[in-house]
Amino acid sequence: MTGYLGDHTSGDTVEVFFTTSDSAGAAVAPSTIFDDADVQVYETGTDIPLTAGITVTSPVNSVVGLHKALIVASTGNGYNNNANFQVVLNPSDETVDSQTVVAVIGSFSIENRFAGVDADWVNGGRLDLILDAILADTGTDGVIVASLAVDSVDAAVLATDAAQEIADQLLDRTAGVETSLTLRQWLRLGASALFNKGSGLETTTGVYRDFGDTKDRITATIDADGNRTAVTTDAT
């Protein structure tokens, strides 16, 4: 017996190899080659053989004692879904080593191993409903946690780049300081005004440079009283 040949989708072609041997175990050919009618399939729970869609090759590639049956397991050929099948060698007149043979040479199933899981995944199934609930709860913001215990998150449980990612999220949060101004942009502009080079401060146009002295961070229009009447910034 070949053994279990797997769970198949309806319409698959199931391939069954089988051998013939003499009483000593040596490979022998049948009295005449097997034909299509010599292989039948029984659905578990029934006594009526299925014969449609079966093609037998005997021998295979001229190898003595090696044979093959191809079974087109479609509903049109009688193979029901969610069912198990036994493949039987039952020659009408051929003998092996002068002996009449009847043997179960394999078994398979049609969509009968994961029916429960499949039902769970369909729209409205249990797993589908669980996923819908998770998505409804988290949306696009990730998993929402109501609260965390003190010291429940520390360096040991964070990825090596987690601290950098958290810092970047804080620094680049939209409108983190004021409308259209992130914390990173605010720090760049503040540092420019406090620590970096400045020019034209006694004129009508005052300029503050960036830390690397590569660009104008702040350009201010100043009136005769020293008031800034207009400001242009570059926080990139």
Instruction: Give a yes or no: residue 82 inside a domain.
Output: yes
CATH of the domain at 83: 2.60.40
Residues 91, 74: one domain? yes
Per the domain annotation, does 138 fall within a domain? yes
Report the pLDDT value the prediction gives residue 114, as an integer from 0 to 100.
67
Considering the domain architecture, whether residues 159 and 136 belong to the same structural domain is answered as no
pLDDT higher for 148 or 16?
16
The reply to whether 8 and 86 lie within a common domain is yes
Does 83 share its domain with 180? no
Q: Please tell me whether residues 101 and 178 are part of one structural domain.
A: no
For residues 173 and 99, state if they share a domain: no
Give the distance, in angstroms, between the CA of residue 192 and the centroid of all CA atoms in the same chain: 50
The residue among 102, 4, 100, 2 whose CA lies nearest residue 44 is 4
Residue 90 sits in the same domain as residue 19: yes
Predicted pLDDT at 88: 97
> What per-residue confidence (pLDDT) applies to 132?
79
C-alpha to C-alpha distances, 106 to 13, 18, 56, 80, 176, nearest whole angstrom: 14, 8, 14, 17, 68
Is there a domain that residue 150 lies in? no
Domain containing residue 171: 155-233
Last residue of a domain, one of 87, 122, 144: 144
Lowest mean pLDDT among 24-28, 138-142, 166-170, 211-215: 138-142
Quote the number of domains for the chain: 3
Residue 47 lies in a domain: yes
Contact in structure between 205 and 222 (CB atoms under 8 Å): yes
Please tell me whether residues 226 and 135 are part of one structural domain: no
Question: Which band of pLDDT confidence, cut at 50, 70 and 90, is reported for residue 140?
Answer: low
Let me know if residue 100 belongs to a domain.
yes
Q: What is the pTM of this model?
A: 0.51
Q: What is the mean pLDDT of residues 20-30?
A: 95
Q: Which of 98, 122, 144 is the last residue of a domain?
A: 144
- Cα 33 from Cα 19, distance rounded (Å): 12
Same domain, 38 and 16: yes
Is 149 within the bounds of a domain? no
Do 20 and 78 lie in one domain? The reply is yes
Same domain, 73 and 159: no
Same domain flag for 83 and 22: yes
